[in-house]
Structure 1
Amino acid sequence: MKSILATATVLLSGFALLTEAHISFRYPCPRRGAYFDCPQPGPGEWELVDYNIRSPLGTHGGITNPMCKWPSSFAGDRPVYQAGETVDAKMDIGAYHKGGSCQWALSYNNGSTWVVFQDKFRTCMSDASNGIIYTLPFTIPADAPSGKAVLNLIWNNNEGNREMYSSCADVVIQGTNGGSLSGVEPLLANYGPSSPLIPEISAAGGNWGEAFFKARKPITVSVPKQSQSKRHLTRRLNKA
């Protein structure tokens, strides 16, 4: 038993064992990510660890994984963010693909509905380099309702295969008790042959998909008001 635990600790302790090298959250912890300071798998869950956490969800040619890749995290602590707070996300960069376009989104219903609240087009992570941890700030909307939420960074790369990435983390938002959050629906481009195609920016004369991003539909999600007992939000992850 001791040798098994020692092996598991080694597997979760380094980045080099992540076999698909592109991008992922390093902080906040991505769902089922193989990082030592993230929620750890419980009994019988070791086979669920995602050692390819930095791989894309798919390309324009086909879909490999659903949004977020996984429906839940391992049980553990959620980071708590205040509405209006600016947070420095840490990105594990395997290959930065000359940057791309980022959409930051929140979901209060475990990914059934997403609201994009922040964008960075064309130059998102363009000043990164391969094999580093890169700081990428985002700001929680000032009017974000309180509740358990999923934070999602959706990224389309500028160079290489026409891919889409989605890195998801379970978080707690402390803001308005009840209310709504407005933004736009995310653009899911380069995600299967029926999705919009954003070409390589250098091969397309600088085309980074601007028309597709401008066509995103507005969306508003409502979050029910919480009772007094539920307002004391737990940081424990649910097996959602």
Structure 2
Amino acid sequence: MALEIQWTKPVASWTAGQPVTIKFRPGGAAHSGGHCQFAISYDNGKTAAVVHKVMKHCFFNGPSNSNVADVLEYTFDLPADIPASSNAQFIWIWNNAIGNRELYTGIADITIANSGGSKSYTGKSAIYPNHEGYGSIPEFNGNYNTGLSLFENAPNVVVSPGDSAAPPPVPEYSSSAVESKTVAPPAESKTVTPPAESKTVAPPVGHTPTSQSSAEPTFEVTATGPPAESTVEVTATKHLTDSVYTSSAPTAAPTSSACTHGALQCISGNAGFQECVWGVWSATFACGPGTVCQQTSPDAVVCGWA
């Protein structure tokens, strides 16, 4: 995985060995729970090490058939040997227990302080089941052990900030429809809506799509130990795996009937963009408040300030 992140100002400051809290906003569809990973990256998501995970019952205290979350907050300690950096990324990944076979993610730019001088951290690699190349997890159907082996067998990965302790450079946007991902920048209120971080869609896994709530789960990133300088809200991105996602965003769509799988293109008026899903353009994903879609290459877009 690789991410295109347009903003360069971190939105939270964390300290190695101190507790951090991830708060999920109520109202999103919880899909009976599932598997959640919480990871840290120093290279915009190319490598990410898991620092916390909630398997089986993420958003719940146990097995549930509910679509309304019971648990909306997780607190855990950052590893004491996680390296310091002014340009780190926090990544949340969720595979839902019931519903369409999808992948939800959220990302936030953060800084990490560590007075111990650690240069690297080794942990389980973050994985993206139901995303191309990572294997698939079917609906749980009451068996909450479904897919656990994928996480248990994930390789160890070493993450290191390298030169990222220096002020982060202006990112270069990739033209690769497979490796680059697009995230919308935060609005001044520190609330962002990244309509689509991923430009690669995993192939169908034989599940028949069912009607679901259009509400997306969201989370807040906070530092509960010093320093606690900022809070960010990020809308989770849904990586499509079954069929063309239907969005309620009302915008005109391009009329082209053929496209390259994984490509993105701005819609007319630049209020949002579409993703090519196996030769068919999806419904429109709206850009965040105050931003417009900008075509950075024939197959890549970014939602940037107008």
Same fold (TM over 0.5): yes
What do you get for the CA RMSD once the two structures are aligned? Answer: 2.9
Paired position in structure 2 for 1:134: 72
Return 112-121 or 144-153, whichever deviates more.
112-121
Paired position in structure 2 for 1:152: 91
- TM superposition score normalised by structure 1: 0.59
Q: Tell me if 1:99 matches 2:33.
A: yes
Paired position in structure 2 for 1:89: 22
8 Å contact kept, 1:178–1:223: no
Q: For the structure 1 residues 132 and 238, does the alpha-carbon distance in structure 2 shift closer, same or farther, using more than 3 Å as the test? A: farther
Offset at residue 163 of structure 1 (A)? 1.1
Paired position in structure 1 for 2:110: 171
| Counterpart among 124, 133, 136 of residue 197 in structure 1 | 136
Q: Tell me if 1:123 matches 2:61.
A: no
State how far apart, in whole Å, the 1-side matches of 2:70 and 2:56 are.
20
Paired position in structure 1 for 2:11: 78
The aligned amino acid for 1:212 is: L
State how far apart, in whole Å, the 2-side matches of 1:107 and 1:202 are.
33
The aligned amino acid for 1:136 is: Y
Which one has a larger percent helix, Structure 1 or Structure 2? 1
State how far apart, in whole Å, the 1-side matches of 2:33 and 2:53 are.
13
8 Å contact kept, 2:82–2:118: no
Offset at residue 77 of structure 1 (A)? 4.7
The aligned amino acid for 2:73 is: T
Q: For the structure 1 residues 181 and 75, does the alpha-carbon distance in structure 2 shift closer, same or farther, using more than 3 Å as the test? A: closer
8 Å contact kept, 2:56–2:145: no
Q: 1:213-228 alignment to 2 at 5 Å?
A: 213-224=151-162
Q: Structure 2, unaligned stretches of length 5 or more?
A: 172-306
Give identity over the alignment, percent. 29
Q: For the structure 1 residues 221 and 88, does the alpha-carbon distance in structure 2 shift closer, same or farther, using more than 3 Å as the test? A: closer
Offset at residue 239 of structure 1 (A)? 4.3
State how far apart, in whole Å, the 2-side matches of 1:133 and 1:76 are.
30
Q: 1:125-157 CA deviation, whole Å, 9 max, x = no partner?
A: 125964899222232111111002000011111
| Counterpart among 77, 81, 84 of residue 143 in structure 1 | 81
State how far apart, in whole Å, the 1-side matches of 2:80 and 2:150 are.
27
8 Å contact kept, 1:90–1:133: no
Paired position in structure 2 for 1:108: 42
The aligned amino acid for 2:20 is: V
8 Å contact kept, 2:88–2:161: no
